[in-house]
A and B are shown apart, each in its own frame.
Chain A
Amino acid sequence: MTTASHPHTVPDEVRRTFGARVHSWVVTVDHKRLGMMYVGFGLLFFVIGGIEAALMRTQLAQAAGKIIDPATFNQLFTMHGTTMVFLVGMPILLGMGNYLIPLMVGARDMAFPRLNAFGLWLFVFGAALLYYSYVGAQGLYGTSAAPDVGWFAYAPLTSKTFSPGNSTDYWILGILISGLGSITTAINLVATILVMRCPGMTLMRMPLLCWMMLVTGILVIIAIPVLTGAQAMLLLDRYLGAHFFDTQNGGSAVLWQHLFWFFGHPEVYILVLPAFGFLNEIIPVFSRKVIFGYALMVAATVAIGFISLSVWAHHMFAIGMSPELNSFFAATTFLIAVPTGIKIFTWLGTMIGGRMTFATPMLFATGFISMFTFGGLTGVMLAVVPLDWQLSDSYFVVAHFHYVLFGGTVFGIFAGVFYWFPKATGRMLSEKLGKWFFWLLFLGFNMTFLPMHISGILGMPRRIYMYQPDRGLELWNMISSIGVLFQGIAVGFFIWNIIASLRNGKVAGNNPWNAWTLEWATSSPPPEWNFDQVPTVGSARPLWDIANPQDPDSRHEHHQGEGHQ
């Protein structure tokens, strides 16, 4: 009688009207649909943020460019940074966690499904509010204007005196609201991972992505409220005459920096830990080898979580802190390089001795290792305080964090999208288009960001709408701008791939990659209830155990770290 008793008839979706289908997505509390909407919105904003970047690169292709006026340019880099961090990185990574975590731990849904839906719609509302500024906000001359204070919105540039109108308020409120959404998602992730694991799944048998998401969730819960608080203080300054950051009345501009970066640096790890998690799933599967040193990988992740809370002032080496404080933050920053290095070595250790195949997810994962290593090492250079005094706020820094957040996070996201797309949709993405996408993006990415190291060393500060024509910057900027063209074409291939594969991609089956974690044990796409029976696991790789009953992982659990089988 009910639909549930006729699972093999035509699904409801097909018969429903368009309106009813949209309605079913809007009211859903299914973690998989919510996760896919997070990723979908995130990819939409990735394109928008990319267009903003392309406009900036058009202006900077030549010295003393005259295509974009300074006010517009300042809005572009503010919106680009804000979009990429808050509306692309966070929602896609937390959204993929949303989709994957219940499946990976063998649960039916997240711990708090309604809170989960609430979080998504807070994010969407915050994002819409931020972008509404382009038509609704009043800027400097009463014209409509997006925020133009930079993504870290340093006081006192954000005060009523220097940012009249209300465009800055759109930045504050948009991010504040989407931040609340992130907090709810993080609470959900942490609760799900801690209490919803299926029988047999001890903490040390979780897929590594769950560990990364656990630490990420905890960091979000610690870091975002600090930003939310600082933004509330800023609103009080702007509208109720408070003087927290109002330097003309004894307020402190440095206080904003401490509050912002106390959020901002954990944020960098919030943006990269889940991507590390994707690699921890993908590299073993495509190397056909168990991760080399599970326990050390977990330890490194937890260590990054802790240390990342004590490095924030390395964004502030130029503010005139005492030599003692500078030394302290340099030391913690150097320290965090160690667990980060351990991760890279662990991936290499997993690849060595494996039988690697290079489908698109693995291409992106290898690209990640290569590019993230580069960005990590320029990060070490920036931890050298005196060198930071030269390179901070120059294009060298722009290059550095794009190697980490693009070469790292974004490559990780695409590795994950190609890897789990078959699970989420039941269809494979085209390998041919995927390879075009990867190589064009890899080429374009390096063309754009490698020369920026040189621009920075040649004295080009970031956030300038034009540069002087006589400083040797023309060539490097031109190469950077041309690189954007390749990236644009690459993203075209990606969109084409998604559309074409959704329509007539190869049918995936339950486990197209021959992988080992629980999400591959159910159908593709999984039913709303995820698993027909509550799964039980005896190791971190339950599907390996089923495929290799003669040599299950559980036999090695007590010998981990002691070498061979």
Chain B
Amino acid sequence: MAKYLQIFLLILVCPSLHAIAGTDVSPNAVVCAPSNDNINAGDLNFFNSASPPAHEIREIAWLVLGICAAIFIVVESVLIWSIIRFRKRARDAGEPVQVFGSNPVELAWTVIPTIIVFVLALATLRTIREVELTEAPEGSLHVDVIAHQWWWEYRLPNLQGDGTIVTANELVVPVGRPIWLTLNSADVIHSYWIPQLNGKTDIIPNHVNHTWFQADRAGIFLGQCAEYCGTQHANMLLRVTAVDDETFNAWCAHQSSEAVSDPTVEKGRDMFLDLACMNCHAINGVSEGSFGPNLTHLMSRTTLGSGVAPLNPTTLRAWVDDPQNMKVGCNMPSLELDPNQLNEIVAYLLTLK
């Protein structure tokens, strides 16, 4: 049986090395990716770490993997050897020698594992200290994360002026600066997990948690909610974009500006206010609902419905028409708009750059 195991290990390990090493095993795999940026097979693999806490975890992972693999190989080898060597043969007659035990041997297989786990425990304690910070690192950018059934709300201070930037599902951060996240939940337990940036931290209502990361390089870092949180747990995707300081400042300035006011879509805006939309959605200067995502700069985002689809006029129209069709069980109801209302509202939303 151990033979099978080894064959499987080989089969599994070979192709997966590509993914673990971060090389792209599916060069044109972006079949229906949420947006048109390149997503590779290894992009959610914590071995491709891109942030100091994730680096620490990767290092200890290799250490532990090595030790465990060595133990496994030793135990399996002894097992296979004894199966072959001590199989009953035709010439064997009667019972073998009965050995009731041996103090030195039993002592050895008690003490040696104890030493091994002691070493592992020391390494673990050290890494816990490196990764789990109890206060924000110096110079960090403070971001509030509020998890909702099934989307993410972000609040961060506006570094280009007063007030707070409120956005949803997609966070933009500067490269090389520690990001200190304060995690809150509006409803049930969720978990914040972007493997390349840090391990996961649960988001528990009535119990504030913190986590942090510091992106080494520019790029898009993906993740998703990692604690079962109800019907659409699978479509609660995370997306953090790390950019240089200049781009980040521009993003901040843009996000903190008032919503675009385009007179050509006034009709749509009025419908947004007259119908139920404004009860849940905030648009700075227009409405103040806070149950759903803030839509002030909706079209500056690349995905829709917390990553359920890429954001473009077609998907937006389909979403407003019937969210339950795209994300079954989500908290936005189907509003049964007539085609005219649908056209006007979508036209208005499309101007919210």
A positions within 8 Å CB-CB of B:
64, 69-71, 74, 140, 148, 150, 154-157, 161-162, 247-248, 250-254, 287-290, 292-296, 318-320, 322-323, 326-327, 330-331, 334-335, 337-338, 341-342, 344-345, 348-349, 351-358, 363, 366-367, 369-370, 373-374, 377-378, 380-381, 383-390, 392-394, 439, 442-443, 446-447, 450-451, 453-454, 457-472, 475-476, 548, 551, 553, 556, 559-565
Residues of B within 8 A of A553 (CB): 98
Nearest-neighbour CB distance to chain A for B68, whole angstroms, equals 4
**Contact in complex: B42, A394 (CB < 8 Å):** no
Answer yes or no: B257 CB below 8 A from chain A CBs. Answer: no
Residues of A within 8 A of B229 (CB): 157
Answer yes or no: B232 CB below 8 A from chain A CBs. Answer: yes
Q: Given A71-B231, A252-B206, A348-B75 in contact, is the A334-B95 Cβ separation under 8 Å?
A: no
Q: For window 94-150 of chain B, which residues contact chain A by CB distance below 8 Å? A: 95-103, 105-106, 109-110, 113-114, 117-118, 120-121, 123-125, 127-132, 134, 149
Query: In the complex, which of the residues A252, A370, A385, A465 contacts B234, with contact meaning CB atoms closer than 8 Å?
Result: A465
Nearest-neighbour CB distance to chain B for A364, whole angstroms, equals 10
**Contact in complex: B227, A154 (CB < 8 Å):** yes
18 A-B contacts (beta carbon < 8 Å): A70-B329, A74-B228, A154-B189, A287-B96, A318-B227, A319-B204, A319-B209, A323-B128, A334-B118, A338-B110, A355-B92, A386-B53, A386-B130, A393-B193, A450-B12, A459-B44, A559-B100, A561-B102
- Name which of B3-11, B272-280, B311-319 contacts chain A: B3-11
Answer yes or no: B46 CB below 8 A from chain A CBs. Answer: yes
**Contact in complex: B72, A70 (CB < 8 Å):** no
Q: Which of B98, B101, B149, B204 has the most A CB atoms < 10 Å from its CB?
A: B101
**Contact in complex: B39, A296 (CB < 8 Å):** no
Residues of B within 8 A of A327 (CB): 124-125, 128
Answer yes or no: B252 CB below 8 A from chain A CBs. Answer: no
How far apart sit A389 and B191, CA to CA, in the bound complex (Å)?
10
Residues of A within 8 A of B95 (CB): 288-289, 355, 548
Query: In the complex, which of the residues B19, B117, B231 contacts A70, with contact meaning CB atoms closer than 8 Å?
Result: B231
Q: Given A463-B233, A561-B101 in contact, is the A458-B204 Cβ separation under 8 Å?
A: no
Query: In the complex, which of the residues A148, A331, A355, A560 contacts B96, with contact meaning CB atoms closer than 8 Å?
Result: A355
- Name which of B218-226, B258-266, B281-289, B339-347 contacts chain A: B218-226
Residues of A within 8 A of B207 (CB): 247, 252-254, 319-320
Q: Which residue of A lies closest to B204 (CB)?
A: A253
**Contact in complex: B71, A377 (CB < 8 Å):** yes
**Contact in complex: A337, B113 (CB < 8 Å):** yes
Residues of B within 8 A of A349 (CB): 99, 101, 105
**Contact in complex: B131, A296 (CB < 8 Å):** no
**Contact in complex: A392, B200 (CB < 8 Å):** yes
Residues of B within 8 A of A551 (CB): 98
Query: In the complex, which of the residues B16, B86, B130 contacts A353, with contact meaning CB atoms closer than 8 Å?
Result: B86
Nearest-neighbour CB distance to chain A for B304, whole angstroms, equals 14
- Mask, B75-102, CB within 8 Å of A = 1, is 1101100110111110010011111111
**Contact in complex: A357, B88 (CB < 8 Å):** yes
Residues of A within 8 A of B199 (CB): 318, 386-390, 392
How far apart sit A519 and B125, CA to CA, in the bound complex (Å)?
49
**Contact in complex: A334, B120 (CB < 8 Å):** yes
Task: Please give me the 9 A-B residue pairs with the lowest Cβ-Cβ distance, nearest first.
Answer: A389-B199, A472-B41, A459-B44, A464-B234, A293-B101, A320-B209, A247-B205, A247-B206, A334-B117
Q: Which residue of B lies closest to A565 (CB)?
A: B98
Q: Given A353-B99, A373-B75, A387-B57 in contact, is the A296-B110 Cβ separation under 8 Å?
A: yes
Answer yes or no: B328 CB below 8 A from chain A CBs. Answer: yes
Q: Which residue of B lies closest to A380 (CB)?
A: B68
Q: Given A353-B96, A355-B86 in contact, is the A156-B109 Cβ separation under 8 Å?
A: no
Answer yes or no: B216 CB below 8 A from chain A CBs. Answer: no
Q: Which residue of B lies closest to A150 (CB)?
A: B228
Nearest-neighbour CB distance to chain B for A288, whole angstroms, equals 5
Nearest-neighbour CB distance to chain A for B80, whole angstroms, equals 9
Query: In the complex, which of the residues B124, B205, B206 contacts A384, with contact meaning CB atoms closer than 8 Å?
Result: B124
Residues of A within 8 A of B99 (CB): 289-290, 292, 349, 353, 563-565
Query: In the complex, which of the residues A370, A392, A394 contacts B2, with contact meaning CB atoms closer than 8 Å?
Result: A370
Q: Given A162-B187, A370-B76, A457-B46 in contact, is the A289-B200 Cβ separation under 8 Å?
A: no
How far apart sit A392 and B130, CA to CA, in the bound complex (Å)?
19
Answer yes or no: B160 CB below 8 A from chain A CBs. Answer: no
Residues of B within 8 A of A248 (CB): 205-206
How far apart sit A381 and B117, CA to CA, in the bound complex (Å)?
11
Answer yes or no: B321 CB below 8 A from chain A CBs. Answer: no
**Contact in complex: B86, A459 (CB < 8 Å):** no
Query: In the complex, which of the residues A318, A383, A464 contacts B200, with contact meaning CB atoms closer than 8 Å?
Result: A318
How far apart sit A250 and B56, CA to CA, in the bound complex (Å)?
36
Query: In the complex, which of the residues A292, A318, A392, A471 contacts B39, with contact meaning CB atoms closer than 8 Å?
Result: A471
How far apart sit A338 and B15, CA to CA, in the bound complex (Å)?
34
**Contact in complex: A384, B120 (CB < 8 Å):** yes
Residues of A within 8 A of B101 (CB): 292-296, 349, 560-563
Q: Which residue of B lies closest to A473 (CB)?
A: B41
How far apart sit A548 and B188, CA to CA, in the bound complex (Å)?
65
- Name which of B58-66, B170-178, B241-249, B293-301 contacts chain A: B58-66
**Contact in complex: A366, B79 (CB < 8 Å):** yes
- Mask, B33-45, CB within 8 Å of A = 1, is 1100001111111
Residues of B within 8 A of A564 (CB): 97, 99
Query: In the complex, which of the residues B82, B124, B205 contacts A348, with contact meaning CB atoms closer than 8 Å?
Result: B82
Answer yes or no: B325 CB below 8 A from chain A CBs. Answer: no
How far apart sit A327 and B97, CA to CA, in the bound complex (Å)?
46
Nearest-neighbour CB distance to chain B for A111, whole angstroms, equals 31
Q: Given A338-B117, A342-B109, A386-B56 in contact, is the A253-B206 Cβ separation under 8 Å?
A: yes
Nearest-neighbour CB distance to chain A for B26, whole angstroms, equals 6
**Contact in complex: B223, A338 (CB < 8 Å):** no
Answer yes or no: B351 CB below 8 A from chain A CBs. Answer: no
Residues of A within 8 A of B106 (CB): 293, 296, 342, 561
How far apart sit A394 and B222, CA to CA, in the bound complex (Å)?
15
Residues of B within 8 A of A476 (CB): 16
Query: In the complex, which of the residues B33, B40, B131, B235 contacts A469, with contact meaning CB atoms closer than 8 Å?
Result: B33
**Contact in complex: B57, A386 (CB < 8 Å):** yes
Nearest-neighbour CB distance to chain B for A66, whole angstroms, equals 11
Answer yes or no: B47 CB below 8 A from chain A CBs. Answer: yes
Q: Given A357-B88, A470-B39 in contact, is the A70-B232 Cβ separation under 8 Å?
A: yes
Answer yes or no: B337 CB below 8 A from chain A CBs. Answer: no
- Mask, B179-207, CB within 8 Å of A = 1, is 00001000111010101001111101111
How far apart sit A370 and B72, CA to CA, in the bound complex (Å)?
9
Answer yes or no: B250 CB below 8 A from chain A CBs. Answer: no
How far apart sit A553 and B16, CA to CA, in the bound complex (Å)?
52
How far apart sit A492 and B134, CA to CA, in the bound complex (Å)?
54
Q: Which residue of B lies closest to A336 (CB)?
A: B117
Q: Which residue of A lies closest to B110 (CB)?
A: A342
How far apart sit A90 and B83, CA to CA, in the bound complex (Å)?
31
Nearest-neighbour CB distance to chain A for B143, whole angstroms, equals 16
**Contact in complex: B226, A461 (CB < 8 Å):** yes
Q: Given A373-B75, A380-B64 in contact, is the A451-B12 Cβ separation under 8 Å?
A: yes
